[in-house]
Amino acid sequence: MATKQSKRSRPTIDMTPMVDLGFLLVTFFMMTTQFSPTDIVPISMPSSTADIKLPESNLSTVLISKDGRVFYRMDGTKNLKALGKSINDKYSLGLTDHDIERFISQTAFGMPIMGLKQFLALPELDQKTAFQPGIPIESGQNELADWLVFGRIANPQARIVVKADKGTSYYPSVKKVLDTLRDCNILRFALITDQEQKTPSI
C-alpha cells in the first residue's frame, strides 16, 4: 500500500512551453525597446493631430523647458564627437580628449559654451544634478545658432526638431528659438507633440 502511494507521481507541470513563450516575448521586447534619452528637465508636450512619427535617430533637438531655458541635444557618438571638436575649436576651450569623452556622454547641453569645460570637469553625479542655466539666446550672444550650425556640420542628415513644454510662454524663449532657426536658414523643422486623443470633427 505504502509503495503504491509513493509510486503515484507528483503533479508536475511541464514548464518548457512556458519558457518558450517567455523567451519569445523577452526577445521581442528586447528587439523593439530602445531607451529614449532621459530629459534633463521634465517636459510635458502639447498634443496635436499631426500623424507623422518622430524618427528614432539623426535628430538635432532644441529643448525648451517650462521656465524658458533652452537646451540642445544631438544623438550618435560620432556626431557628438564632431560637434564637441568644432565647438572646442571655435571657442578655443582647450578641451582634452578626456573632456570630449565626457562631452559625448551628455544627454543635452544647457549652459553657456564658456562654462562647458568647467561643467565637464564635474564628477558624473554632479553633472546630472547640476543646475543648467540654459543656452544663451540673446541677439548679442546667440550660442544656440552655433550649436545648430555645428550640429548640422556634424550630421548633415539630422532633422531639426523643437521640443517645448506646453506651459512655456511664447515670449521670449519660443519666439527667440524660432527666430534663431530662421536666422540659421533652417526653415524646415518639426515640433514634437503628443497624439491628441479626440479625433477632429471633419
* Whole-number CA gyration radius for the chain: 24
Which CB, 133 or 167, lies closer to another protein?
A: 167
Q: With H, G, I as helix, E, B as strand and everything else as coil, classify residue 14.
A: coil
Asked whether position 41 contacts another protein by CB under 8 A, the answer is no
Interface segment toward another protein; rule CB under 8 A; list 51-59, 96-104, 120-128, 142-150: 51-59
Which CB, 123 or 200, lies closer to another protein?
A: 200
Residues 6+ apart with CB under 8 A from 2: none
Q: Which sign, positive or negative, has the C-alpha torsion 43, 48, 54, 60?
A: negative
- Residues 11, 38, 42, 51: which binds another protein (CB under 8 A)? 51
| Residue 44 CA from chain centroid, whole number | 14
> For another protein, how many residues bind (rule: CB under 8 A)?
62
**Secondary structure letter of residue 137 according to DSSP:** B
Q: For residues 114, 118, 110 and 130, what is the CA-based torsion angle, rounded to 10 degrees? A: -150
Angular region, 134: left φ>0, alpha ψ -120 to 50, beta rest:
left
Smallest gap, in angstroms, from Cβ of residue 202 to another protein? Answer: 6
- From residue 144, alpha-carbon distances to 46, 103, 120, 161 in Å are 23, 17, 19, 13
Asked whether position 138 contacts another protein by CB under 8 A, the answer is no
Which CB, 98 or 175, lies closer to another protein?
A: 175
Question: 161-180 mask for another protein (x: CB under 8 A)?
Answer: xx-xxxxxxxx--xx--xx-
Asked whether position 57 contacts another protein by CB under 8 A, the answer is no
The residues that touch another protein, with contacts defined as CB under 8 A, are 3, 6, 10, 12, 14-16, 18-19, 22-23, 25-26, 29-30, 32-33, 35-36, 45-46, 48-54, 64, 139, 161-162, 164-171, 174-175, 178-179, 181-183, 185, 187-196, 198, 200-202
